[in-house]
Amino acid sequence: MFDYKQLVDQLLNTVKLKEVAPDVFEGESFDYVGKRIFGGQVLAQAIMAASHTLHEDKPCHSLHGYFLRGGNINQPVIYKVRHLRDGRSLSAREVTAIQYKEDQQGNKLEQVVFTMIASFSPMEGGLDYQEEMPAYPPPEDLESEQSLKEHHVGSVPEPLRERFMRPRHVEIKPVKPRDPVYPEPMEPKQANWLRIRELGEQPVAIQQALLAFSSDYYLVGTGLMSHGISFMTKGLQAASIDHSMHFHRPFDINEWLLYDMWSDTTSHSKGLNHGQFWQNGNLVATVQQEGLMRLRG
């Protein structure tokens, strides 16, 4: 058995930034998916960095970011925030995420790993419309991702089994599980229930940061489904290129959210993927991401 509370504490440490200069923050790096920084970590920390510079407590309503380089988990990430606008309702921030690399002479070279523009605005009344929440089996009727791994671990190459079985920091229940080792071609559409239980009451900024963190799981893989390949397919090079997110309504990530995902096109070694988060019948956030999916050999 694993200590889930310890995983939650690590998530909270991930979004706890240190201010090192005015409008400059440092975030600790963790091993979430391997030697490269998990895109969800950078998204979450960038949201937190921007929110720390607001003069008023406003939730984020949209963000648009680009992953420019693979980050090193052995180094912290520095977030430089630029104030673009502060109006009566809307505030805009530009966030640049930086790490440093030494050249042969020992000089530190700045490496931009991620850049984002985010807009913040208070919740207010007004015109309100949404589509109906998709109908899927409820989470209590589904098997957890961690339990499903037990069915496939025997097919995973021995050097990868320990990492394959590592528990996620986000509890996930796939609606229609897919064989991660020998996938069949299928319609590029999938849905997961997810939550971060034992998180407790948290500010809106942390809730939004952790939803952005969670949104980077499974989304880029949706574009692989129609081709019958997975992240374990030999010769596959896959990575997130960009990520946009719109927050529509309040939510509580302690409770189950439905993450409905689909891909409508893949071309030129890239796939465009879309997602919606639902809770208690409400559409709470929309996500879009383009992913690199280059198959060699």
CA angle, 88 then 90 then 91, to 5°: 105
Owner of token pair 């609606």: 175
- For residue 2, pLDDT over 80 is answered with no
**pLDDT tens track for 35-87:** 899 999 999 999 999 999 999 889 999 999 999 999 999 999 999 999 999 99
**29 among known catalytic residues:** no
Residues of the chain above pLDDT 90, percent: 81
**pLDDT tens track for 156-208:** 888 888 888 889 999 999 999 999 889 999 999 999 999 999 899 999 999 99
Q: In angstroms, rounded to a whole number, what is the distance separating the alpha carbons of residues 233 and 222?
A: 14
| Residue 1 pLDDT grade (very low, low, confident, very high; cuts 50, 70, 90) | low
Q: Are 219 and 287 in contact (CB under 8 A)?
A: yes
Q: What is the mean pLDDT of the chain?
A: 94
**240 among known catalytic residues:** yes
* Number of residues assigned to the chain: 297
pLDDT of the residue at 4: 84
- Six token digits for residue 83: 């104030």
Three-state DSSP class for residue 74? coil
- For residue 154, pLDDT over 90 is answered with no
Which residue in the list 29, 45, 215, 289 is annotated as catalytic?
A: 289
pLDDT of the residue at 61: 97
Identify which of 213, 211, 233, 230 has the alpha carbon closest to the alpha carbon of residue 222.
230
**214 among known catalytic residues:** no
pLDDT of the residue at 53: 98
Find residue 191's DSSP bridge partners.
260
- For residue 5, pLDDT over 60 is answered with yes
Which residue in the list 41, 91, 214, 240 is annotated as catalytic?
A: 240
| Residue 18 pLDDT grade (very low, low, confident, very high; cuts 50, 70, 90) | very high
Q: In angstroms, rounded to a whole number, what is the distance separating the alpha carbons of residues 253 and 170?
A: 10
Higher pLDDT, 214 or 295: 214
Find residue 90's DSSP bridge partners.
none
Which residue in the list 45, 91, 99, 216 is annotated as catalytic?
A: 216
Q: In angstroms, rounded to a whole number, what is the distance separating the alpha carbons of residues 224 and 187?
A: 10
CA angle, 43 then 116 then 254, to 5°: 30
